[in-house]
């Protein structure tokens, strides 16, 4: 049966009218569900914050309490600023407690006093990220300890200028005033950074500070302020480098550039300080710095000849003297370096026999790499196998070439070819790192099956129970990538690492004061002190943060497996930002792990320190 045209159009209209409210309802429902989920996560995070505060108050070490409270304040600041301020106040009380408890007769007095200064700076940095003005108030209200001596004026001035940079976008006048106060104490990199920061938000204020810096450099006392001459050199170097005219408008919007006249004046000041013995003592560079100044001026010689032609000849003579001195000090190495710049591969190989063994090896290695980089792999192989006699160096060169092949194939997106070369690499951590990079590349192409195969191969190399920190870090990096495929498999790996953390922590507690030093104090693990166990805790925390983005309850259950209260509380802290984010990462987002994000996972990251006897 046929449908008349006008009836067909009527059916379409009816369907559209009926479907439109359904679609609108579904969209509204989805937004409401997302809002409810965000609010639930927010409540969960704030409840966890209360638990963190309670746990922190139960700890014995003031520095542990302070670091936990600071991190909690930073995490909840945007969600509950009032609570964040209370946490900062509690952290200050812990700092005061630690400072008051320091006994000048304690054998660890110097390290504890240094710890107070470090914690003070951590507190200021945390507050400055959210409220620079409050951080300035705290800076002035909490004088720096310096072994019982008055605070270091230069250190305090640096902190003040760093805070002024954060304040620049909110209050340019206040930031400029702080800059001028700092300039009265001498030119510094912080001042130049402040001028550039102001330049981006308030051009007039930035220009004023920059002009005042240039004026101060003309009269600065380089004998007492060594930083000033390096600031001047950096400004001159930036001016002397060729600029693309198309890029200059953008550069001028972000950084100050010297005018030609200002460059001429600054160049004269620098040359007088470095070369002219008639210059007043205060304007000369400190003894021992002249060679370093000359090395930095050498690449700028063409620009200096245009700016200060009368002084350029003197500079050239001094540079020639420096070159002769270097040749006397370094002997034939200078000539070898010159040969490398100009000689062909064949010329380097032929000349190698004329040099002592150590230089001969250096020339041959350089020749092999030059051949390889020129695309002549066979010539590189012949040099390595036939010319290099040291078996250790020969093996290292062969491994490096295999590594370069893998890198090239990864860069070309040839995952299968790169994968086939990985068994040739000698280091397990390095192989694991490459498996992870290849899995990430496969994920970016949407090939989840190949990514899973690569991660399974990485797990096979990593083994089961990790016997050293290298393998623990490797397993956690595998878990990090696995999370994009299967959060339960990722969690299983993290769970195994947490169990190992508990075992290592118990062993370290037993050995503390015997074979292990400074892991525990007053029977409490010292957070953030850089030991291998702490590094492992940080790695686990990073993984739990990622799990919390997808499954907060699962992440919480993993954290609860940690036996020590201070460690568990630190892991809860690492989860807070994920719970307080506007939206957790969806499965689609988690699959889009870019190579850039994962480029941080390198073989060096998988070679962490091993717990050793000391």
Look at the chain and count its residues: 614
Nearest to 381 by CA among 360, 392, 393, 397: 397
| Residue 110 confidence (pLDDT) | 80
543 touches 575 (CB < 8 A): no
Closest among 183, 129, 186, 135 to 159, alpha carbons compared: 135
Q: Which two tokens stand for residue 506?
A: 């118990």
Collapse the DSSP code of 516 into the 3-class scheme (helix H, G, I; strand E, B; otherwise coil) and give the result. Answer: strand
State residue 473's pLDDT score: 93
Tell me which of 201 and 528 has the higher pLDDT: 201
pLDDT higher than 80, residue 3: no
DSSP designation for 583: S
> Which pLDDT tens digit goes with each residue over 414-468?
989 999 988 888 788 889 999 999 999 999 989 999 999 999 999 999 888 888 9
Return d(Cα 98, Cα 62) in angstroms, integer.
6
Residue 279: pLDDT over 90: no
pLDDT of residue 324: 79
Give the model's pLDDT for residue 611: 29
pLDDT number for residue 244: 45
pLDDT band, very low/low/confident/very high, at 247 (cuts 50, 70, 90):
very low
Q: How confident is the model at residue 150 (pLDDT cuts 50, 70, 90)?
A: very low
Distance CA 348, CA 458 (A): 41
Contact between 569 and 578 under an 8 Å Cβ cutoff? The reply is no
State whether the Cα torsion 499-502-508-511 is positive or negative. Answer: negative
Tell me, rounded to whole angstroms, the distance of Cα 103 from its chain centroid. Answer: 36
**More confident of the two residues 50 and 26:** 50
Helix extents (H) in 202-225: 203-217
Structure tokens at 159: 């902190």
pTM: 0.74
**E-strand spans in 331-378?**
none
Distance, in Å, from the CA atom of 71 to the CA atom of 82, rounded to the nearest integer, reads: 15
Write down the pLDDT at residue 401.
Answer: 86
Q: Which contiguous run of DSSP H or E holds residue 321?
A: helix 309-330
Phi, psi of 509 (to 5 degrees): -65, -40
> Half-sphere exposure (CA, 13 Å, Cβ side) for 403?
15
- Give percent of the chain above pLDDT 70: 83
Number of other residues whose CB lies within 10 A of the CB of residue 120: 21
- Output the pLDDT for position 599: 31
Mean pLDDT of 152-163: 82
Tell me the per-residue pLDDT of 324-355, one tens digit each, with 9 for 90 and over. 777 666 667 777 777 888 888 888 888 888 88
Q: Is the dihedral of CA 381, 383, 389, 393 positive or negative?
A: negative
Each residue's pLDDT tens digit, 187-221: 999 999 999 999 998 999 999 999 999 999 999 98
Summarised one tens digit per residue, pLDDT across range 221-233 is 888 888 999 999 9
Per mean pLDDT, which of 134-148, 273-287, 468-482 is the most reliable?
A: 468-482
Among 286, 287, 288, 285, smallest CA distance to 274 is for 285
Mean pLDDT calculated for residue range 124-138: 91
Mean residue pLDDT of the chain comes to 83
| Distance between start and end Cα atoms, the chain | 93
The more confidently predicted of residues 543 and 609 is 543
Band of pLDDT at residue 15, cut at 50, 70 and 90: low
177's tokens: 């005033």
Instruction: Provide the sign of the torsion angle of the four alpha carbons 135, 136, 142, 147, taken in this order.
Output: positive
What are the tens digits of pLDDT across the range 363-396? 888 899 889 888 888 888 888 888 888 888 888 8
Mean pLDDT of 483-509: 95
- The pLDDT assigned to 268 comes to 92
The gap from C-alpha 527 to its chain's centroid, in whole angstroms, comes to 20
Task: Please give the pLDDT value at position 234.
Answer: 93
User: 504 and 525 in contact (C-beta within 8 Å)?
Assistant: no
In angstroms, the CA 405 to CA 399 distance is: 10
Q: Is the pLDDT of residue 280 over 80?
A: no
């Amino acid at each position: 049966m046929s449908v008349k045209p006008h009836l067909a159009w009527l059916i379409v209209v009816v369907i559209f009218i009926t479907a439109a409210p359904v679609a609108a309802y579904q969209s509204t429902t989805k937004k409401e569900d997302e809002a409810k989920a965000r609010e639930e996560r927010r409540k969960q995070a704030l409840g966890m914050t209360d638990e963190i505060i309670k746990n922190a108050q139960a700890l014995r070490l003031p520095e542990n309490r302070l670091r936990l409270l600071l991190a909690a304040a930073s995490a909840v600041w945007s969600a509950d600023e009032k609570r964040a301020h209370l946490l900062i106040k509690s952290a200050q009380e812990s700092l005061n407690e630690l400072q008051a408890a320091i006994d000048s007769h304690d054998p660890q007095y110097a390290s504890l006093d240094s710890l107070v200064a470090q914690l003070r700076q951590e507190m200021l940095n945390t507050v400055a990220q959210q409220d620079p003005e409050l951080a300035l108030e705290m800076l002035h209200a909490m004088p720096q300890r310096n072994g019982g001596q008055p605070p270091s004026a230069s250190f305090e001035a640096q902190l003040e200028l760093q805070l002024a940079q954060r304040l620049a976008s909110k209050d340019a006048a206040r930031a400029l005033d702080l800059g001028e106060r700092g300039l009265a104490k001498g030119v510094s990199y912080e001042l130049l950074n402040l001028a550039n920061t102001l330049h981006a938000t308030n051009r007039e204020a930035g220009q004023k500070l920059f002009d005042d810096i240039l004026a101060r450099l003309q009269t600065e006392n380089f004998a007492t302020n060594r930083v000033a001459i390096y600031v001047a050199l950096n400004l001159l170097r930036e001016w002397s480098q060729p600029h693309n005219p198309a890029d200059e408008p953008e550069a001028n919007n972000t950084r100050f550039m010297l005018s030609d006249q200002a460059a001429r004046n600054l160049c004269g000041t620098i040359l007088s300080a470095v070369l002219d013995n008639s210059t007043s003592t205060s304007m000369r560079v400190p003894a021992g710095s002249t060679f370093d100044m000359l090395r930095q001026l050498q690449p700028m010689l063409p620009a200096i000849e245009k700016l200060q032609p009368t002084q350029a000849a003197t500079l050239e003579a001094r540079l020639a003297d420096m070159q002769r001195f270097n040749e006397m000090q370094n002997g034939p190495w200078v000539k070898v370096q010159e040969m490398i710049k100009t000689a062909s591969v064949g010329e380097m190989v032929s000349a190698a026999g004329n040099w002592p063994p150590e230089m001969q090896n250096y020339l041959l290695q350089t020749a092999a790499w030059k051949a390889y980089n020129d695309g002549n792999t066979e010539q590189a192989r012949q040099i390595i196998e036939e010319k290099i006699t040291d078996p250790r160096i020969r093996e290292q060169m062969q491994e490096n070439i295999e590594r370069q092949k893998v890198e090239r194939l990864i860069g070309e997106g040839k995952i299968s070819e790169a994968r086939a070369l990985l068994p040739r690499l000698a280091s397990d951590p390095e192989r694991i790192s490459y498996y992870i990079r290849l899995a990430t590349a496969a994920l970016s192409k949407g090939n989840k099956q190949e990514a899973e195969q690569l991660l399974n191969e990485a797990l096979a190399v990593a083994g089961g129970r990790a016997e050293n920190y290298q393998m623990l870090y490797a397993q956690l990096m595998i878990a990090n990538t696995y999370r994009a495929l299967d959060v339960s498999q990722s969690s299983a790996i993290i769970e195994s690492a947490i169990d190992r953390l508990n075992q290592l922590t118990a062993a370290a507690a037993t050995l503390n004061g015997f074979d292990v030093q400074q892991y525990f104090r007053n029977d409490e693990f010292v957070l953030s002190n850089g030991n291998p166990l702490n590094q492992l805790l940080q790695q686990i925390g990073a993984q739990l943060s990622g799990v919390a983005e997808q499954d907060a309850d699962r992440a919480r259950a993993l954290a609860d497996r940690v036996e020590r209260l201070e460690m568990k509380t630190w892991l809860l802290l690492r989860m807070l930002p994920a719970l307080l984010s506007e939206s957790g990462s969806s499965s689609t987002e988690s699959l889009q792990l870019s190579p850039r994000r994962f480029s941080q996972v390198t073989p060096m990251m998988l070679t962490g320190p091993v717990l050793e006897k000391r």
